[in-house]
Amino acid sequence: MVSSITRTSGISGGSTSEVEGLGKGIESSFGLNLISLPANPLFGTDGIRGRVGELLSAPLALQVGFWTGIVLRNHATQVGPVILGQDSRNSSDMLAMALSAGLTAAGLEVWYLGLCPTPCVAYLTSISDAIGGVMISASHNPPEDNGIKIFGANGGKLPQILQAEIEAGLRGKISPIARVINCGRHYSRFELVEDYSSALKKPLNGALNLQGMKIVLDLAWGAAVGLAPSVFTQMGAEVICLHNEADGDRINVNCGSTHLDILAATVQEHNADIGFGFDGDADRVLAVDNTGRQVNGDYILYLWGRHLQQNQQLPDNLIVSTVMANLGFEKAWQQIGGNLIRTAVGDQYVQAEMQRTGAMLGGEQSGHILCRHYAVTGDGLLTALHIASLVKEAGVPLSELVDRSFQTYPQLLRNVRVVDRDRRLGWQDCQPVQQAIALAEAAMGDSGRILVRASGTEPVIRVMVEAASAELANYWTNELVSQVQQHLMD
């Protein structure tokens, strides 16, 4: 409820009485610019992410907090709080507290939500007088990784130009415009998570509920363990939960959206209607139909898009997806009058293109789905609720809806671990790899697609081949992976 999203105290941090000319106090007190940073950019496709104890540390989080606070203050029309949440990783407490220390050092008030999904931070930021939000999470990455995701006042991912300002401060290329002499405050605001829970259910209240549906939720030992079961139960579903405790040692390990086998088996064992697998911070979701078949983001976009199209709620029949979207999805969507725009991989690029074009639905094959009718960023719980409701309204099993939609082109995706960051991010300069890609593209022509890219979230090169036949996809995938291994790995 919006009425509870109010300031906790009267501290501000923006008045002239609280700001003086730049001195050396902040810089010396917090050891700014004294930590080692990689030569390549810190911000990837989803914030700053890496191995804890290597790239990510408490000193770095402290500085990121400080410079995030400075940049957010400099661009705010009115100084307000920053909303902070985290997932269940063992390192998340440490990084969240260090980041809060940096934000308060910048003179800002911090509202700490504790364990919550990433879209909870985005939503609460968007409806309050917060000037930004921060989530401590590495999403689907393994437990030893972590990350820092930063949101603007509108709840969207922080624009790249502001990310660049934060990084410039971290690298000592700029100084604060003014010296902060007041101290911010840190407040625990756990009760605000319930406002997000209410917002999830509100669009479906009074419409079809989920009565009579049996739904399996795989919560990946992550951020949604305390929220998802109650939301689905309150909507009337019979809920079966997997990996539903906060566990920093096991988050994402052989479970959740990246490992759907256990979810599929449980759906079949319990004769459930549908299953949903979330990642560690619940901003993405994949589904399993009643037969145990996996349903990825392409199918979710098609089914939700078709539903919105039939209800005249999809401007220009437009869906925004990425270069990873399957050709089968694209062709089927075009056959029913739809338009598809592809972006680079990363939900921030999808979101930016949706804002540019006015599109209301977009997302990724991996399960980041954004519907601007209901949310300001990708939201796994919201997506799962609407897909379950869509199945209930259709009155037929999800498997039948999938069968009616489209057939995917065979698509293979292989990850090649390339630890050397410079080699990984500079892979396009490797001529043997480029020559192999050109040869494969010429051989397949219009009957296939190739996508090679450096992951923005993991130390891997992703090789994707899509072809008219599985044999072609397999052949060219092996050829390209071999070239990457030979010329880019240590």
Place of tokens 């930590």: 35
With both helix axes pointing from N to C terminus, report the angle between 58-75 and 160-170 in degrees, rounded to the nearest 10: 130
Contact status, residue 278 vs residue 229, Cβ threshold 8 Å? no
What are phi and psi for residue 466, nearest 5 degrees? -125, 130
Instruction: Report the distance separating Cα 35 and Cα 167, nearest Å.
Output: 13
Instruction: Give yes or no for a contact between 61 and 98, defined as CB atoms under 8 angstroms apart.
Output: yes
Question: What are the residues facing 340 on neighbouring strands?
Answer: 319
> Interior CA angle at 217 toward 211 and 279, to 5°?
140
Please report the beta strands in 317-444, taking only residues with DSSP state E, as ranges in sequence order: 318-322, 339-343, 361-363, 369-371, 411-417
* DSSP for 152-198, written as a single string: -TTSSBPPHHHHHHHHHHHTTS---SSEE-S---EEE-GGGHHHHHH
Per annotation, catalytic residue among 100, 126, 139, 197:
139
**What DSSP string describes 280-344?**
TTSS-EEEE-TTS-EE-HHHHHHHHHHHHHHTT-SGGGEEEEETTS-HHHHHHHHHTT-EEEEE-
Active site includes 139?
A: yes
* Number of Cβ within a 10 Å radius of residue 417: 13
The amino acid at 319: I
- Six-digit token pair at 486? 């030979």
Report whether 433 contacts 461 (CB < 8 A). Answer: no
By annotation, the residues acting in catalysis are 139
